[in-house]
């Protein structure tokens, strides 16, 4: 199923064919460009597949690049009756992978896309060839004081006002995630704001904000299954000026995955925007090295 682009979308920045798949919870938008082994890009909040636009432009010359918009995000449906926790998003992504019968996947995850993407593949690890990890987590969050503080706000009347009435997540929090504010032009920023024009369309943002703490036990359950993927090749690309998902998180990953290749940059949470070209080059090198070893 294919639909045209919304009027606010700059088709030079995001020049891809729009595709949709029907899932039990709603219609999911995705892009599917190029041929070859699959690179599957999984976003977090408040982003969508737009975050990976430059990655897809370059990497689709050699690979089949697929990027989804989770339900409630980007150009996907925004159903009001969808629970919208990471658990449900992971189930949707798992269903998506199975419906398209994706194999030999290089999984690329970021932010909430970490627990979503990893959980979606932990029960089908044979489909995953290797993993690329941007700033994210996959363990309990309930003991984290910063998470407790965010949870208190998210579940208050103030949180509801900020997220639903003022579109606080893409307007303010996203900008705060940049160490170099110049990396977020007004036009790029607009593409993260426009998918959420109404209070109803912003429910997905608030649901994930509440899930940062509320899904703590579920995250830990996924973390304890990570050995299903831990022997795969891993590339960790990390912004060290991320004020929330800090280098303490990075240490947790490298302790668990000592064999992982790691590259850090002096940038914020949205590495894809601040260090996009460098990240693309690292992914190319990582995949090519694995191919050379295999051959």
Measured in degrees and rounded to the nearest 5, phi and psi for residue 243 equal: -80, -15
Q: Residue 3 falls within a domain, yes or no?
A: no
Place of tokens 């036990």: 217
Q: What is the predicted pLDDT for the residue at 205?
A: 97
Q: What is the predicted pLDDT for the residue at 1?
A: 47
Work out the angle at residue 210's Cα, subtended by the Cα atoms of residues 174 and 48, and round it to the nearest 5 degrees: 40
Q: Residue 233 falls within a domain, yes or no?
A: yes
> How many domains are contained in the chain?
1
Intervals of the chain under pLDDT 70: 1-3, 292-295
Q: Residue 1 falls within a domain, yes or no?
A: no
Instruction: List the 105-109 sheet strands across, edge first.
Output: 19-23, 26-33, 64-68, 38-42, 105-109, 128-133, 234-239, 261-265
Q: What is the predicted pLDDT for the residue at 293?
A: 64
Q: What is the predicted pLDDT for the residue at 292?
A: 67
- What is the rounded distance in angstroms from the CA atom of residue 115 to the CA atom of residue 91? 11
Sign of CA dihedral 125, 126, 130, 132: negative
For residue 9, give both structure tokens: 């979308």
Q: How far is CA 190 from the centre of its chain?
A: 19
Name the H helices within 136-270.
145-154, 157-160, 168, 174-176, 186-193, 203-214, 216-223, 247-256
Q: Residue 92 falls within a domain, yes or no?
A: yes
- What is the rounded distance in angstroms from the CA atom of residue 156 to the CA atom of residue 162? 10
Residue-range definition of the domain harbouring residue 179? 19-294
Place of tokens 């979503």: 116
In 227-289, the DSSP E strands lie at 234-239, 261-265
Q: What is the predicted pLDDT for the residue at 289?
A: 85
CATH code of the domain covering residue 287: 3.40.50.1820
Q: What is the predicted pLDDT for the residue at 5?
A: 82
Q: Residue 12 falls within a domain, yes or no?
A: no
pTM reported for the whole predicted model: 0.96
8 Å CB contact between 125 and 58 = no
Interval 28-78: pLDDT, tens: 999 999 999 999 999 999 999 999 999 999 999 999 999 999 999 999 999
Q: What is the predicted pLDDT for the residue at 290?
A: 72
Q: What is the predicted pLDDT for the residue at 174?
A: 97
């Amino acid at each position: 199923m294919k639909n045209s682009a919304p009027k606010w979308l700059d088709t030079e920045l995001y020049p891809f064919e729009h595709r949709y798949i029907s899932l039990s919870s709603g219609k999911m938008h995705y892009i599917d460009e190029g041929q070859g082994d699959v690179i599957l890009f999984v976003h977090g909040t408040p982003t969508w597949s737009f975050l990976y636009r430059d990655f897809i432009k370059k990497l689709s010359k050699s690979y089949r690049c697929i990027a989804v918009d989770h339900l409630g995000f980007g150009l996907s449906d925004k159903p009001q009756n969808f629970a919208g926790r990471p658990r449900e998003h992971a189930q949707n992504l798992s269903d998506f992978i199975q419906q398209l019968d994706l194999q030999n996947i290089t999984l690329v995850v970021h932010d909430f896309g970490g627990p979503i993407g990893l959980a979606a593949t932990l029960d089908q690890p044979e489909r995953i060839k290797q993993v690329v990890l941007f700033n994210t987590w996959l363990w309990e969050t309930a003991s984290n004081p910063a998470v407790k503080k965010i949870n208190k706000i998210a579940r208050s009347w103030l949180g509801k006002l900020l997220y639903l009435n003022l579109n606080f997540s893409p307007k303010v929090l996203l900008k705060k995630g940049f160490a170099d504010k110049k990396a977020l032009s007004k036009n790029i920023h607009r593409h993260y704001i426009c998918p959420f024009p109404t209070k109803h369309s912003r429910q997905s943002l608030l649901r994930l904000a509440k899930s940062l703490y509320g899904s703590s036990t579920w995250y830990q359950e996924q973390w304890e299954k990570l050995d299903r993927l831990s022997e795969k090749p891993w590339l960790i690309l990390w912004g060290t000026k991320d004020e929330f998902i800090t280098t303490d998180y990075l240490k947790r990953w490298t302790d668990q995955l000592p064999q992982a290749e790691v590259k850090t940059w002096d940038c914020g949470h949205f590495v894809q925007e601040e260090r996009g070209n460098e990240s693309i080059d690292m992914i190319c090198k990582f995949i090519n090295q694995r191919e050379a070893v295999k051959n």
